[in-house]
Every structure is written in C-alpha cells, then in structure tokens.
A and B are shown apart, each in its own frame.
Chain A
Amino acid sequence: MTFIPKPKIAHPSLPRNELGLTRREYEGALSTLCAGCGHDSITAAIIEACWGISMRPENLVKLSGIGCSSKTTAYFVSGGHGFNSVHGRMPSIAMGANAANRDLYYIGISGDGDSLSIGLGQFCHAIRRNVNMLYIIENNGVYGLTKGQFSASADIGTKAKKGEVNQQPPIDPVLLAMNLGAGFVARSFSGDKAQLVPLIQAGLKYPGFALIDVLSPCVTFNDHDGSTKSYAFTREHYEPVVEADFVPFKKEIATDYAAGEAVPVMLHDGSRVVLRKLAEDYDPTDELHAHDYVQQHIAKGEYLTGLLHCRPTQDTEFHALNRTPELPLNQLPFERLNPGSKQLGKLMARYR
C-alpha cells in the first residue's frame, strides 16, 4: 500500500479549541515529502492556524494542482474535502467550487511551477475575479518531482545543484498579485511559523483573494551554496517589514497596540487583522506604495516579509460583484431555479 494512514491518537491532556478539537484532529495523512522539506513546516502552520481559529474541518476545502506542494493538501485537515486537480489549473477548480458554495473556506496550495509557469494564466485570472480563497504558493525555485529544473521564480544568478546558473529574470508572485489588484498579499518563510500562522488565519478570513508566497526551501534540489532559495540564504535576506495579528471577532481584547504604528483592518465578520509596521516608512494599506517599496527592496537584494498589502475595502469579491444570493447556489431549492411550465409558454411567444 502506497498510502500511509496516520494513527489518530489524542492524548487527553492535549489542548482543545472552541469546538473541543485537538490539533491532532486537524492533521492529515503522513507526508511523503523529503525529510526537512519546507512544505512540511507550512503544513504544520496550516494545522496550527485552523486549530487556532476553530475552523470546522468539514468547512475547509483544500485544492491543489500538481507538484510537491500540491501533494500537501492530503497532509492536513483530513476532515475537509480535498481536490488534487491537474497541473496549473487549481484556480479554476477553486473558482467553480467557490461559485457553488460561498459559505466554505477555500485554501489552494500551489507551487512556483504550478502557479508561475504552467498555471500563470489561471493564477492571474483568479486574482482578477477576486475569488474568496487563501492561495499559498510554496515557493522553492525548482521543480522537485522532476529533479531540479529551474522554475520561473528562480532569481538571476542562482545556481542549480548541478552548477548551471539561471539567467532569466524571475516572476515574483507578490509584485504580480499587487499589480493585478489583489487585496491581501503576503510573503513569508516556511521557517518562520510565528509569522506564518497569523497570516494563514487572516488570509482564510479575508473576504477575497488572499495570497501568501511562502519561501520554502527544497532540501534535495535547492539548498546548496549559490542558491537564493536555500535555508541559509533565506534566513539572511528575508526581512519582516510588517507583522500581522489575526483577532477573531469573539475575542474582545483591549487595544494592545500603540496608535500610529499599528493599523487594524476590519473584516466582514467582525474579526480584525492588525498590522504592525516594523519599518517606519511603510504603508501596507496603500497598494501603489507597497508595490514600489517591495520592488525597490528586491532591487537591493532584500526580501520583505509579512502582510505586505492589505486593502481595507473588500467589496469586489466575486459573489459581491455577481450579486449571488446569501444562500449558496448549491443549496437553492429547485423551485427557485426552475421557471415552470407556464413561464415556458410565455418564453415561447417570441419564437412563433
């Protein structure tokens, strides 16, 4: 058997969330990725994030394409439906699924090959449509399953394991997403769980397209000297510029941030994302400013992390623009969908 189930044994002392569930109940099948893979850390962060906000497992829909990253949807929240689709096409599955049921939480897990090469078109158009989903790119700069070819996110000058040097400019999903008008754009690092967990929570709750580009080193094919996506290089060059905290609606907490340096962004359900600026001159709510700022720092070899852009207004989400009803389309009673025989008679009139 090539599928490895994970024993579900919860120690009675494990902490429980508001639903009475332990973290174990947010786990999935055993990972089959290489030991030390950054993707597994992201999986762990997703489990922590979902447990932390007491997500009902059945309300999480996990979507992916093809590649190492796309496999990981099987490794968390086994109580949620998963759809491992075809290479680069996860965004269209997400769009259709989201159109059918606006009430669920959609998390798409993709990679740099899946999103920035074969699936670049679908990635861009999912942003344009403002599909309400959290889109995580587990970005390692290489194709792992096919053994180490450069991906479209590989930086100029980065070295492949066999020594080849990349000379083509990278596609940066963060700049691209800001350019296309995404309302929630973040960058993080698989090794920074403290930063990642609240970002995932905020992204899941954000009512629109939320992107987190997570640098996730490939221990097998891209963790050597000369690689700009290795653990060592990432730790050295990735700088948090803004911290995000996710504050659920229920928790009435006293303002613990000083005015001027922290910006709360209200979400539709009453919860908040609190942005704490670590750089004095940075404004994450202004997308033009954020885009230029991030780009200027990349030119200097500095990769900024955190919730780099969060638009306070959230009225262009797909369902809002399409004026669909509150009740999900897949739950509308047939009587409301079928116009009936009398109406058919009327509709026939113009064809006589």
Chain B
Amino acid sequence: MSAAPSRVNDFVIKIATVNGTGSASANTLLMKSIFRSGIPVMGKNYFPSNIQGLPTWYEIRISKDGYVARSGKVDIMVAMNAETYARDVRDVAPGGYLIYDSTWPRPALLKRDDVTVLGVPLARLCNENFKGVRTRILMKNICYAGVLAALLDLDVARIRELLAETYAKKPALVESNMQAIQLGYDYAKANFSCPLPLCVEKMDKTSGHIMIDGNTAAALGCVYAGATVAAWYPITPSTSLMDAFKNFADKTRIDPETGRANFAFIQAEDELAAIGMVLGANWNGARSFTATSGPGVSLMSEFLGLAYYAEVPAVLFDVQRVGPSTGMPTRTQQCDLISAAYASHGDTKHVCLYPANPEECFYMAVQAFDLAERLQTPVLVMLDLDIGMNDWMCRDLVWDDNYRPDRGKVLGKAELEKIEKFYRYLDKDEDGIPYRTFPGVHPKGAYFTRGSGHTQFGTYTEDSAEYQLVLDRLLRKFATAKRHVPRPVIEGDGKAKAAIVSIGSCDGAVREALDVIASRGVHLDYMRVRGFPFSEEVEKFLADHEIIYVVEQNRDAQLKSLLTLETRVDKAKLRSLLHYSGLPVSSKFIVDGVLGDLLEGRRAVSGVVS
C-alpha cells in the first residue's frame, strides 16, 4: 500500500489489552514520555468493571494543535487482546497501522489491505528473556511500549527517566522494564522501517502544564479550601477522589509536632450515612464534603432535601457514570444533570457546578465550599468519569495565598452578645440568605434545625402562611445564587445566527468541532454553562441566537430540559446533539451532527434527536 502523508504529532494510538495485565503502566509511560517531549497529548482509559480478565482499551491522542478530545478515529492499533481482535482491526482508519503479537500468526487479520500490519512476536521475546508467568505477561505489555518507541521515534532516555521515577524505591524493576523496552525497540528497528510517517517530534507546548485527573484535582481543591471532614462510601468512579484527598491530607495536614491529623476521613456504611455526616459536620461549622456517583446521589436524595430546606451547607462531587440503575460503572456520561439539580422530594432545587476539565475541578472545588456556606445550601459539583479518572493536560494549578474562605453569614459570640434575640430564618438582608450560628458558641445562638415545616423564626409550624413565607424566601435565595455561580464561558463574536451550547467534558470536542466547522465556512458562537441556576448571561446568549445546538452526553437531553425549564428560551430554537455510548464524545460526532443538520437538513443522523 502507498505510504500515508507525514502526520507528525497528529494521530491517535489505541491499545487493546486484557484488564489486570499491567498495561496501565505501559500506557502511562507512553503518554508521559510524549508529554515530556513537549507535545500536547490526551489519554483515555476505557476499562471494564472488573479486576482481571475483561477487555480494556487505552486511547492516546497526540495533537500538535492541542486538541484534548477524542477525534473519533484510530491511526495505530496495538491489538494485544485476542478476544477483541476482530473489532480492533475494524476500528483502524484507512492508511493506519495494526501492531499485534505474531507469536501466534493470525492470517485472518491480514484481510484489510488498507492497513499496514506489523507483527511482533512479543510473547516469544518475553518468554525467552523473562522467568515466571506473571512477569512474562507484564513484560509483554512493556515490550509493546518499546516497539512503539521505535516506530514513533520516542526518546528512549526519557522512558528510562520515567521508569526511574516510577520505581525509585525498586531499582531492580527499572532494569527489567528497560530490558523489555529494549527488546521491543530493537525488534522494531531490525524489522520495520522506523520511524513511521506517524511519529513524534519534540515541541515546546507542554511547559506550564501538568497531566492530572479531575478527581485528584478536585481532592486537592478540597484540601486547599480547608475541608476538614471527608465522609464517603466507595463507588466507581468517585473513589479515587477520596483516595487522593486522604493522600494529600496525609502529606500536608499532619501536625509535625504532635502527629495529629488536622482532618477526619470517615468511610461510611453507605451513601445515606456519608451525606448525613457531611451535613452534621457543616452544620457544626466544619467544611465537609463527599464524593459519589449517580446511584449514590439517588440514595442521598432525602438528606439533600433536608439540607435544602433546613439550609445546611454541603459539598458533593458527583462523578457521573453511565446509567440507568447500575448501568456501566466504568463508562462516562452526563446523565445526572436533572437528578442532581432536583434531588429529593418536594419543591427542591440545588446549586450545581459543571467543571469541564481537571483544572476547573480544582478551582470549582474551592468555590463550591464558598458557595455552600454563602448560600447555606448543598452544592453539587458535577464531574464525569472522563474528567474524573482520565489524565488531562491542563495548565499548572496556581494558588493565591491571600484567599480566605467565605464562611457566609455566621454570627459569632460577639455578635450574639449584642443582639437581643436570634432568629434563624429571617431574611434581614433581603437577599434570601438568613444568618446561622454554630453550637457551643453562645446560648443565644441556639436554634432548632428541622426538616418539618418551620417559621422564619425557626419554630415548628403547620400554618400555611408561615410555611409559605419560608418557601418563598428559599426561591429568593435561589435567585441570589444566579449571581454567585460561575459565569458561562462564551466564545465567538456574537454575530452568528447559530450557536452551540454545551456543558462539562464536552468542551474539548466542541472546541475542536467549532474549528473544523469554521474551516468549512460555517461560524458558530459557543456557550458552555458552568453553573446552575442559570444566570442572566445564559438567558441573553439563548435569546441572541436563532438556532442552538445543545451538545451533551445523555439520552434524554437533560441540559436542554434544564434550559427549557429554568430559562425563558423558546424551546423550538434548541436542537439536541446527544452522545450516550459511554465513551467520551468525539469532535467528529459534533461536526457531523451540526453540519448534517445545518447544511443538509439531516436531522436524523445517528444519535441526533431534535
């Protein structure tokens, strides 16, 4: 077949392996070595809900232009899993490459004549050089990293440097891993024409950047926000957020003199207890949070309603995964947008924040605590598995040492001394936000917190007028929240008739799609909402555009529904592009959807519902 045109620093590698065979280290190694060569890179892990034995994929996109989303195609497939060979071969784009373990030749693989097949006897090489079944399996995966290093022209010294960092405490492992790298590298050099036209060349586009996942960044935000009580129940894909908090807290919150822990980390018996602990701690004046996923939000709903009505601050990270029900726990979706916004029975709604990447997770985590205390209500930070568990390239996180927490309207001892009587739910400032007190401060500050009907003075009531007074004030408070939540990100000159509105992790794919669509002569404006309730800026943007594509990752158009319910937008203007396969949305999906609709009137392309 003819040689493809050179695609330096612009291609996608997909690696198909079996879960539990150590491929994660090989994949991280590859991605990090590209990142350290100054080239923008994206890595996405498609893993099963399983410990060992099921198929798993890792997708690495090298993008000189800095696009961080899936492109929607695969240029190099490393097919290490016999079980998925057939579909893996099918996935390779014409002109692409397939690398497979030729210890067992598979002539059926050679059926595609538009793909270059590169066979490497990985199992044989490792069996000859390593002892022990487990070691041989692990090394086979490191070995393909060596093959790719030769094919892509990766710097072997950099790989060694990364291994040395990873195994700083086990130097023997550096040598054995390097041996496996070298085996693959030498084999490729001897048998193929290296490098391929798809290869990497050093750039300088990653300085000032880190590769970090959103769960880690959010956890770090919690540490910096001064959270002291973390309560949780393990659930994929949120668990690593709590693990990260514990790790950071162990590093930064142990008193050097006393050895005491300036935090409490509580593994609850279930999600109901986890959110209960968070409410108890916040009510008592400690910044406290939990992390969970959709099923956990369902279980926490009753308490969230109590927190809304009794006005107790709380911070909850919902790392969304595929539903309904247990769904696909290790796949991504934005399918809790509605259940989070309205969690619990009765007239209840919650402040939600929608980060698009790990960098925003860090800052929004801090902001979530400030908002929760300022507004005295739960704040739900809506991550998804893609943001939470994949490593994203983002700008260095920075911290302003002048920051002090916004504890909101809290009356302390001195203030309570001065007043005659304290009433918990009075709207003294006419912004819908009352004053609160903490236990143990002053007998005058005592009040009774309850989820049953209460008056603005904090007493129990079954009186219609008294009940309604409080309920209406809560609406005023929600209106105040519109001015406090993060503003939407708006791009474009505002002159385009058509626009894209999107949310969270769709951002990268939308941005790339906008460039591609522009290159075809169509210019769209773009708004990414970042907070709920929607602000006036969101209203204005919706009013200013005639055709609005709402791009989101769920089946039921949940963002579109929220916009319809909570803004004045004319529903007829909104057109949905819905991606809900469980894999992160690709730029191609959006390009095809928008152009198909706009230029060809194809409203019924796959996955697009009007």
Contact = CB atoms under 8 A, between A and B. Distances in A.
Interface string B234-271: 00000000000000100111010011111111101110
Contacts of B400: 341
A185 B351 CA distance: 43
Contacts of B466: 1
A54 interface: no
B415 interface: no
Interface string A212-242: 0000000000000000000000000000000
B149 interface: no
Interface stretch (B1-9, B318-326, B454-462, B480-488): B454-462
Given A2-B463, A100-B228, A330 B438 contact: yes
Contacts of A80: 439, 443, 446
Interface in A305-352: 318, 322-326, 329-330, 332, 334, 336-341, 343-344, 347-348, 351-352
B229 interface: yes
Contacts of B303: 85-86, 89
A318 B261 CA distance: 13
Interface-centre pick from B259, B280, B281, B288 (highest chain A CB count, 10 A) = B280
A305 to B, nearest CB: 30
A82 interface: yes
B417 to A, nearest CB: 13
A351 B229 CA distance: 26
Given A2-B463, A58-B446, A325 B439 contact: no
B137 interface: no
A332 B446 contact: no
Given A97-B283, A352-B36, A58 B452 contact: no
Nearest to A352: B210
Given A337-B228, A351-B210, A84 B450 contact: yes
Contact of A96 (B248, B280, B448): B280
Contacts of A81: 437-440, 445-449
A74 interface: yes
Contacts of B450: 82-84
Interface stretch (B41-49, B175-183, B218-226): B218-226
Given A96-B229, A96-B284, A347 B220 contact: yes
Nearest to B277: A96
Nearest to A334: B226
A322 B273 contact: no
B449 A344 contact: no
Given A2-B462, A340-B401, A351-B210, A83 B283 contact: yes
Contacts of A336: 255, 262
A78 B422 CA distance: 13
Interface stretch (B10-18, B391-399, B545-553, B560-568): B391-399
Contact of A99 (B258, B262, B277, B441): B277
Contacts of B448: 73-74, 81-84
A338 B226 contact: yes
A108 B282 CA distance: 18
B205 interface: no
A341 B441 contact: no
Nearest to B276: A92
Nearest to A339: B252
A190 B270 CA distance: 33
A202 interface: no
A330 B261 contact: no
B99 interface: no
A325 to B, nearest CB: 4
B443 A57 contact: yes
A100 B280 contact: yes
Contacts of A96: 229, 231, 276-284, 288
B53 interface: no
B261 A324 contact: yes
B607 interface: no
A103 B285 CA distance: 13
Contacts of B263: 324, 329, 337
Interface string A1-32: 11101000000000000000000000001000
Given A99-B229, A339-B223, A330 B449 contact: no
A220 B340 CA distance: 42
A330 B460 contact: no
A124 B519 CA distance: 63
B279 A101 contact: no
B277 A92 contact: yes
A124 B268 CA distance: 12
B272 interface: yes
Nearest to B223: A339
Nearest to A345: B396
A36 interface: no
B442 interface: yes
Contact of B211 (A57, A82, A91, A351): A351
Contacts of B36: 352
A125 interface: yes
A95 interface: yes
Interface string A64-104: 00000000011000111111111001011111111111011
A121 B272 CA distance: 10
Contact of B399 (A78, A95, A344): A344
Interface string B284-303: 11101000000000000011
A86 B302 contact: yes
Given A79-B443, A329-B264, A86 B228 contact: no
A337 to B, nearest CB: 4
Contacts of B270: 121
A61 interface: yes
Given A92-B272, A92-B273, A330 B228 contact: yes
A63 B248 CA distance: 32
B111 interface: no
B461 A97 contact: no
B29 interface: no
B343 to A, nearest CB: 14
A347 B446 contact: no
Contacts of B463: 1-2
Interface in A117-149: 121-122, 124-125, 129
A179 interface: no
A116 to B, nearest CB: 16
Contacts of A98: 280
Contacts of B266: 95, 99, 129
Contacts of B258: 325
19 contacts: A2-B462, A58-B439, A58-B440, A81-B446, A83-B283, A85-B449, A89-B303, A93-B277, A93-B280, A95-B231, A96-B277, A99-B264, A99-B288, A100-B280, A101-B284, A322-B264, A329-B263, A338-B223, A348-B396
Interface of A: 1-3, 5, 29, 56-59, 61, 63, 73-74, 78-86, 89, 91-101, 103-104, 121-122, 124-125, 129, 318, 322-326, 329-330, 332, 334, 336-341, 343-344, 347-348, 351-352
Given A324-B260, A329-B263, 11 more contacts: A1-B463, A58-B446, A74-B460, A81-B438, A81-B439, A100-B229, A124-B269, A125-B268, A129-B266, A330-B228, A332-B262
Across the A-B interface, the 4 shortest Cβ-Cβ residue pairs: A96-B280, A92-B276, A100-B286, A96-B277
